[in-house]
Amino acid sequence: MSVNNIQDILFNSPQLTTELKKIAEKVFQGERISFDEGVYLFEKGELSYLGVLANYVREKKNKNYVFFNRNFHVEPTNICVYTCSFCAYSRLIKQREEGWELSIDQMMEIIKKYDGQHVTEVHITGGVIPKQDLNFYSTLFKSIKSHRPELHIKALTPVECHYIFKKAKVTYEEGMQILKDAGLDSMPGGGAEIFDKSIRDQIAGGKCSAEEWLKIHEIWHNMGMQSNATMLYGHIETFEHRIDHLERLRKLQDKTNGFNAFIPLKFRNGNNEMSHVPEVSVIEDLRNYAISRIYLDNFDHIKAYWAMIGRNTAQLSLNFGVDDIDGTIDDTTKIYSMAGAEEQSPKLTTQQLVELITQVRRTPVERDTLYNIVKDYSVN
């Protein structure tokens, strides 16, 4: 369907308000929507309307492609000095009997299990404990690169970096340079939660602030490196808080252009201190993906973690702005499953991922972490 036909359908709809028609016109003309317009989309935008706009932006940026990679996770520990109320994963230091703390040798054993397999990325993140300090991670990254130089290391959120740099008495700049020199290739987007201080203090008090999270990514980008960004949604935040979060990310991306992808993370209420907060519906998931795609006009990719939202919702999201569903994962993460994620054994083969994408008439593309194309499945 042509853009003109899509516009005709939208603009001739008697159900659309003047404001929604104005926003649609801006999207089709490639103009940036404002903070207030973003909030208005959450308040008044129907799912079908949002899907049309988000899909237009998505296909303009990435055609019919859906990206994935071959990756696995290593989670150094689930012991943590922080007590985030939404987290079902971590255990306090005094609860060590309920958790795990992997040594460098144990993590290298996990990594060596993938020798000879076609994986391109190891994703390393977990809890925060004093023992796993700057020297610990520097040694780990050097060991990985010595064993398998081509394996991309995506590791350590700003929450982890902030803690280990403070403990090591180094600046953010010094710490990031040490990790880069040790072999760190990119940073994941975790730990962002919600940037608004009042909400952040309630659900993740004690962690690095929003300003510190953003500063660490800015420093990393200014070193010529790339990272991802996330937002935890569907708990006690308002629509204004969501748009504030997206606005801060959009402003930093304007400055650095260092974010690869944005990943909305759905709050899951299993086994945590916020179990009394109901989870939002799948419809709200799709609306959030769509508005994120529309608002973050300077982000190339919107990712849905299939392991968190489930395979069926991941497929639906591909028509609401999403163009990436992460990777094979290989059942190596407990962060999502312990919180009640849809996928309790998050493992998909490459063929299963390809089939999941082609079932909804999208074109699978295997990528590396930085979105270089490894295999385009539309090319025989």
> Does the pLDDT at position 337 exceed 50?
no
Percentage of the chain modeled with pLDDT above 90: 71
Mean pLDDT of the chain: 89
C-alpha pair distances (Å), 140 with each of 33, 153, 166: 43, 10, 19
- 185: pLDDT confidence band, cut at 50, 70 and 90? very high
Most confident of 122-136, 252-266, 314-328: 252-266
Say if CB 69 and CB 371 are below 8 A apart. Answer: no
Q: Which two tokens stand for residue 270?
A: 């299993």
> Does the pLDDT at position 216 exceed 90?
yes
Work out the number of other CB atoms within 10 angstroms of the CB of residue 247.
16
**Cα separation of 215 and 139, whole Å?**
25
Residue holding tokens 């760190």? Answer: 184
> Does the pLDDT at position 331 exceed 60?
no
**Cα separation of 85 and 227, whole Å?**
26
> Does the pLDDT at position 379 exceed 50?
yes
- 336: pLDDT confidence band, cut at 50, 70 and 90? very low
> Does the pLDDT at position 16 exceed 60?
yes
Structure-derived torsion over alpha carbons of residues 33, 37, 43, 45, reported in degrees to the nearest 10: -50
Q: Which two tokens stand for residue 42?
A: 């959450």
| Range in 139-148, 149-158, 162-171, 334-343 with the lowest mean pLDDT | 334-343
- Give the model's pLDDT for residue 310: 87
Give per-residue pLDDT as tens, 260-269. 999 999 988 7
**Cα separation of 107 and 16, whole Å?**
54
Give per-residue pLDDT as tens, 199-213. 998 888 788 999 999
- Give the model's pLDDT for residue 186: 98
Domain ranges of the chain: 3-61, 65-376
- Give the model's pLDDT for residue 78: 84
- Give the model's pLDDT for residue 334: 47
- Give the model's pLDDT for residue 88: 53
**Cα separation of 27 and 229, whole Å?**
23
Give per-residue pLDDT as tens, 83-116. 655 555 454 544 555 678 999 999 999 999 999 9
> Does the pLDDT at position 145 exceed 90?
yes
The CATH number of the structural domain formed by 65-376 is 3.20.20.70
pTM of this structure: 0.91
